[in-house]
Amino acid sequence: MNGAGAARPAYLDNAATTAVDPRVAAAMAECLTGEGAYGNPSSTTHAYGHEAAARVEAARAEVAALVGARPAEIVFTSGATEASNLAILGTARANADRRRHLVTARTEHRATLDPMRRLEREGFAVTWLAADRDGRIAPDAVRAALRPDTLLVSIMQVNNETGAVQDIAAIGAACRAAGALLHSDLAQGVGKLPTLFAGQVDFASFTAHKIHGPKGIGALYVAAAARPWIAPIVFGGGQERGLRSGTLPTHQIAGFGRACALARAEGTADAARMAGLRAALWRNLSEMPGVLPNSPLADGSPAILNVSFEGVEGESLVTALEEIAVSTGSACSSASGEPSYVLRALGRSTELAQGSLRFSLGRFTTATDIERAGDAVRRAVTRLRGIAP
Ligand SMILES: *Cc1c(COP(=O)(O)O)cnc(C)c1O
């Protein structure tokens, strides 16, 4: 965790939310070492199984409550990646003989883009929508893309690189009017912005580690009315009403449930505090010339501030910044060294996309972290600009 005077770098990387809340860790530990919650939740013949099943169902109710769903509409998966794969591949393959058109945006997470590309190779038609300079997808653009054979639209609520927020309610209304299904990746939205979309979306992806829960657990919301449209992509023991086979990881699920309960109780206050810190960070950074926001400052997610620095390489900046843990773009694209496809899709030049940093804020981010980060970045940018050829 972060803190004033800590020897470790201030943590502002890939959703600072990946720091596990100690209260979540406690809920998980109870299932590993506790009085019998280590049973297999599918074993209904003894008390150990019953105890584990009770924990799983309590957690399912917490996840459902966070998004206004019914518990039976929550399918546990290994995270948002698997949830989005299930929503996209699971509906496409179940309906390939009826409808073969899909709609998404170029700025989506890879967990959506890659299954879509896979389906293109399998003969589906995909319409790739463009975002405006602020990263927004116009609901009218979605409406215009819909065809009689459109099966599924997939548009995320909050972009993980820029924090741009989409109007999911309006996009959902357009889809419903045209008889198309809507999937939304809510991984960056839940716990920070209102996400009571039950009734407006048919499928929604979540992951626990973006709300201070453990990695490796998430869920797909499957609206009861949409259940006939989706089929499993993993086969086996038939858990999760046949939609996701495999033994349920009780400790992971209990941690996810606790994280959701905390997000429901504290998310609004967390978000308000993060919005203040994000504004302070922007004020500090924008005192320098040549600093351009890639995040919508007025209405973007309070958890993300993405900034480009003219005349500076993002990678050199990250290396120079020993006092803070931060990255350029997403964890996935920064591994490849390619400039962010999201920033490129918003019309940023290769240079500006490469000269960008993404700051993530979470429940444990402090004013001291923000001050340290802002000052360190300004020093590093000034120094790197001084030695640039
Ligand atoms: C983190 C993230 C994912 C992937 O979540 P996993 O837990 O790695 O599966 C998907 N979509 C968005 C928007 C994310 O931020």
Domains of the chain, by residue range, sit at 10-20+267-387, 22-262
Q: Which residue has the tokens 């400039």?
A: 339
Confirm or reject: Cβ of 185 under 6 Å from ligand 1: yes
> What separation in angstroms does the CA of 212 have from each of 50, 74, 79, 175, 227?
27, 19, 13, 32, 29
Report d(CA 271, CA 299) in Å as an integer. Answer: 12
Query: Residues 207, 80: contact at Cβ < 8 Å?
Result: yes
Nearest 5°: phi and psi at 360? -115, 140
300-312 pLDDT tens trace: 999 999 999 999 9
Are the C-beta atoms of 71 and 64 separated by less than 8 Å?
A: yes
Whether 245 has a pLDDT exceeding 90, the answer reads yes
Taking domain 22-262, whether its CATH number is 3.40.640.10 is answered by: yes
Residue 194 and residue 46 in contact, taking contact as beta carbons nearer than 8 Å: no
Please give the helix or strand (H or E) that residue 105 lies within, else none: strand 101-105
Q: Is the CB of 358 under 6 A from ligand 1?
A: no
Which atom, in ligand 1's list, is nearest to the CA of 84? 10
Answer yes or no: is pLDDT of 108 > 50: yes
pLDDT exceeds 50 at position 4: no
Residue 14 banded pLDDT, cuts 50, 70, 90? low
pTM across the whole model: 0.93
Q: What pLDDT was estimated at residue 1?
A: 39
Q: How far is the CA of 336 from the centre of ligand 1 (A)?
A: 17
The total of other beta-carbon atoms located within 10 Å of residue 29's CB is 13
Structure tokens at 64: 């459902």
- The token pair at 372 is 């340290």
Identity of the residue numbered 219? A
Q: How far is residue 279's CA from residue 304's CA, in Å, rounded to a whole number? A: 11
Q: How many CB atoms lie within 10 A of CB 151?
A: 23
Alpha-carbon span 174 to 143, nearest angstrom: 6
Domain 10-20+267-387 has CATH 1.10.940.10: no
Tell me the CA–centroid distance for residue 41 and ligand 1, in Å.
26
Cα 12 to the chain's mean position, in Å?
16
Average pLDDT over residues 369-381: 92
**Of all residues in the chain, what percent carry a pLDDT higher than 90?**
75
Is there a contact between 230 and 94 (Cβ–Cβ < 8 Å)? yes
Closest Cα partner for 31 from 7, 68, 59?
59
Cβ of 188 below 6 Å from ligand 1 = yes
Grouping H, G, I as helix, E, B as strand and the rest as coil, residue 157 is coil
DSSP category for residue 346: T
In whole angstroms, what is the distance from residue 336 CA to residue 331 CA?
9
- pLDDT bin (cut points 50, 70, 90) of residue 2 is very low
Does the Cβ of 79 fall within 6 Å of ligand 1?
A: yes
